[in-house]
């Protein structure tokens, strides 16, 4: 009987959500002694900040780190392609794994496809159908370059088939975010926010959580003003404090536009993933423009209001866990009123927490 050869996997990350969603795959490879290495472009953070995330999630350190230039999309992408290409030339992996829709994903996929190295796209097939979003361009291009498309749901698979991608390349495996939530939501080794949250005394269900960071929201003065007003209206309507881990970009633009943080909003520093999960789990309601938080709220049974015009996580809306409010203040308030008293009877559409195992087993079966 012919012995299967071992494979070498390159895992490319660069943003906090990518590190979180690739963490279950990294940990599974470590447990099963599968050969892999991590390339970190540090797209959102410098090396030291990224190091904190790896430590918090108990991950092995990246073998290669780039301190990416914070320039235009083109400058950032070009720098990352050059960096990743040199790594791939040296390491010669059997497959490059990328996750999601960032410039890191596009760069990793482009570098690999030009060198005829197979690409696995984790969380393939998501579509907002809004091509004004750079993320929509990135994920669509990555899907068309990928050898293995790991779709989280049947809806994502349908999007890929509509794009003309061969069904033979598509594998519906669930979403690694479920693996991550299962692994980290019960972690007890760091101070948690049960009862006391960063010096703020908020019992379970007595506060609203808000996050805001997307360029199309915070870089436009009128849009940012409307969202802040909407958050203020929600605070007044429910009489609850709104806890907001403030994103550096949002803080910068509030100051630039000379806007005020609404009364009732408690700004805190950005939090680690374990803290974030406990904030999500204990909130009465979440107001966000994040893609990942829509999924996490759905998994943790916390009602979500998405302050955007569209979403690529339409499964969360379909099951009743999420509502797309838009960015007008009154619409945000009405959506919050709709979701706040909703009973969390929805089913999680993103899988059973074994997605990382399925992905690696598929790769071993195809390449080993």
Query: CB under 8 Å to 82, separation ≥6 — which residues?
Result: none
Give Cα separations from 348 to 65, 70, 116, 203 (angstroms). Answer: 35, 36, 37, 25
Q: Which of 273, 270, 85, 268 is nearest to 192 (CA)?
A: 273
Query: CB under 8 Å to 97, separation ≥6 — which residues?
Result: 9, 10, 11, 12, 22, 25, 119, 120, 122, 359
For residue 20, give the CATH number of its domain.
3.40.50.2000
Is the CB of residue 208 less than 8 Å from the CB of residue 285? Answer: yes
Give Cα separations from 6 to 32, 117, 177 (angstroms). Answer: 12, 16, 27
Indicate if 142 and 222 belong to the same structural domain.
no
Is the CB of residue 265 less than 8 Å from the CB of residue 235? Answer: yes
The residues annotated as belonging to the active site are: 213
Q: Which of 175, 173, 176, 172 is nearest to 161 (CA)?
A: 172
Tell whether 187 is covered by a domain.
no
Is the CB of residue 357 less than 8 Å from the CB of residue 258? Answer: no
Residue range of the domain that includes 216: 195-340
Q: According to the model, what pLDDT value does residue 196 have?
A: 42
Sign of CA pseudo-dihedral 304, 215, 122, 161:
positive
Our count of domains for the chain comes to 2
Show the CA angle centred on residue 102, arms to residues 98 and 107, nearest 5°: 60
Indicate if 116 and 218 belong to the same structural domain.
no
Indicate if 127 and 255 belong to the same structural domain.
no
- From the CA atom positions of the chain, what is the Rg in Å? 20
Indicate if 199 and 336 belong to the same structural domain.
yes
pLDDT along the chain (368 residues), means of 10: 78 94 97 97 68 85 84 89 98 98 96 98 96 92 98 98 98 98 76 46 89 94 98 97 93 96 92 91 96 96 97 96 98 97 92 97 95
Indicate if 313 and 361 belong to the same structural domain.
no
Alpha-carbon span 97 to 284, nearest angstrom: 36
Tell whether 3 is covered by a domain.
no
Q: According to the model, what pLDDT value does residue 50 have?
A: 65
């Amino acid at each position: 009987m012919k012995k299967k050869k071992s494979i070498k996997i390159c895992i490319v990350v660069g943003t906090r959500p990518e590190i979180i969603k690739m963490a279950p795959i990294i940990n599974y490879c470590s447990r099963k002694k599968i050969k892999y290495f991590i390339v970190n472009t540090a797209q959102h953070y410098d090396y030291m900040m990224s190091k904190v995330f790896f430590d918090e999630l108990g991950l092995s350190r990246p073998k290669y780190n780039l301190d990416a230039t914070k320039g235009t999309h083109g400058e950032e992408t070009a720098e990352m392609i050059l960096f990743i290409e040199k790594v791939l030339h040296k390491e010669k992996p059997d497959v490059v794994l990328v996750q999601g829709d960032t410039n890191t994903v596009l760069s990793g996929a482009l570098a690999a496809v030009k060198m005829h190295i197979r690409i696995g796209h984790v969380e393939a097939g998501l579509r907002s159908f809004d091509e004004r979003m750079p993320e929509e361009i990135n994920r669509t291009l990555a899907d068309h370059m990928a050898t293995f498309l790991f779709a989280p749901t049947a809806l994502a698979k349908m999007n890929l088939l509509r794009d003309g991608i061969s069904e033979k390349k598509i594998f519906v495996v669930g979403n690694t975010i479920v693996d991550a939530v299962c692994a980290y939501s019960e972690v007890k080794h760091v101070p948690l926010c049960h009862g006391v949250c960063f010096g703020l005394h908020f019992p379970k269900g007595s506060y609203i959580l808000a996050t805001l960071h997307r360029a199309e929201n915070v870089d436009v003065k009128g849009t940012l003003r409307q969202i802040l007003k909407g958050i203020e209206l929600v605070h007044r309507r429910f009489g609850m404090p709104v806890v907001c881990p403030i994103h550096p970009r949002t803080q910068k633009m509030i100051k630039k536009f000379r806007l005020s943080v609404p009364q009732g909003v408690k700004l805190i520093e950005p939090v680690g993933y374990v803290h974030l999960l406990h904030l999500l789990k204990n909130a009465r309601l979440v107001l966000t423009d994040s893609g990942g938080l829509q999924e996490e709220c759905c998994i943790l049974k916390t009602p979500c209001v998405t302050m955007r015009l569209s979403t690529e996580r339409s499964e969360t809306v379909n099951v009743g866990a999420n509502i797309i409010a838009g960015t007008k203040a009154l619409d945000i308030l009405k959506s919050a009123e709709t979701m706040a008293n909703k009973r969390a009877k929805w089913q999680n559409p993103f899988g059973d927490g074994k997605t990382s195992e399925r992905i690696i087993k598929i790769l071993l079966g195809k390449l080993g």
